[in-house]
Amino acid sequence: MAIALSIAIALMFQRGRVWIGILSFIIIQNVISWIISSLFKANFGGIPFLNVKLQSNMMMGGEVVFPDDIMLIRWGETLLEAVFVVLMLYATVLLLNRRVEA
């Protein structure tokens, strides 16, 4: 969605569309990442969208034991990402409709 929004933003300009699109994509990604990391104190060692994290302890018999307090999906971050996706979709449609009408 960030790519689609960046393209829609770039189409609003006559000159330098490529650079504006690249710059807007970088800004969008950094702002979303900063908001999520500041709200949830997340570290992005894995997949940023789902933040899947598994911790296991290898025992002598070769069994893998997962702790009871493990959280596979961080729902707060996932829901916030979903909100960002909906907002980016709305902004993309709004900008493209504005471009078509002009």
What DSSP string runs through 33-94?
A: HHHHHHHH----SS-TTT------EE-TTS-EE--TT--SS-HHHHHHHHHHHHHHHHHHHH
Between CA 41 and CA 13 the distance in angstroms is: 36
CB–CB of 24/6 below 8 Å?
yes
* pLDDT, position 22: 95
Pairing of strands 57-58, 64-65: antiparallel
Predicted local confidence at residue 43, as pLDDT = 57
| pLDDT for the residue 77 | 84
Q: How many CB atoms lie within 10 A of CB 21?
A: 19
Per-residue pLDDT of the chain (102 residues; tens, 9 = 90+): 999 999 999 999 989 999 999 999 999 999 998 898 888 775 555 444 444 445 455 555 555 555 555 556 778 888 999 999 999 999 999 999 988 886
